[in-house]
Amino acid sequence: MELLEGINWGLLAPLFIIQLILLIVSLVDLSRIEKTNGPKLLWVFIIIFVNIIGPILYFVIGRRND
Partner 1 sequence: MSQWMTLFQKEILEMWRNFKWIWVPITFILLGVSEPVSSYYLPQIIKSFGGLPEGAIIDIPPPTAGAVLASGLSQYSTLGVLIIVLSTMGVIAGERKSGVAAMILVKPVFYLSYVTSKWAGSLLLVWFSLFIGYLSTWYYTGQLFDWVAFSDFLQSFVLYGLWLTVVLSITVFFSSALLAPGMAGFISLALTLVVSIFSGALSHLLEWSPAQLTSYASGLLSAGELPEHAMPASILSILVIILLLWLSVFLFKKKELAA
The length of the chain is 66
What is the helix (H) or strand (E) element at residue 15, kind and residue range?
A: helix 9-32
Site for partner 1 in 4-63 (CB under 8 A): 6-8, 11-12, 15, 18-19, 21-22, 25-26, 28-29, 52, 55-56, 59-61, 63
C-beta closer to partner 1: residue 21 or 50: 21
User: For residues 9 and 53, what is the distance between their CA atoms, to the nearest angstrom?
Assistant: 22
Cβ–Cβ under 8 Å, residues 34 and 63: no
Footprint of partner 1 (CB under 8 A): 1-3, 6-8, 11-12, 15, 18-19, 21-22, 25-26, 28-29, 52, 55-56, 59-61, 63, 65-66
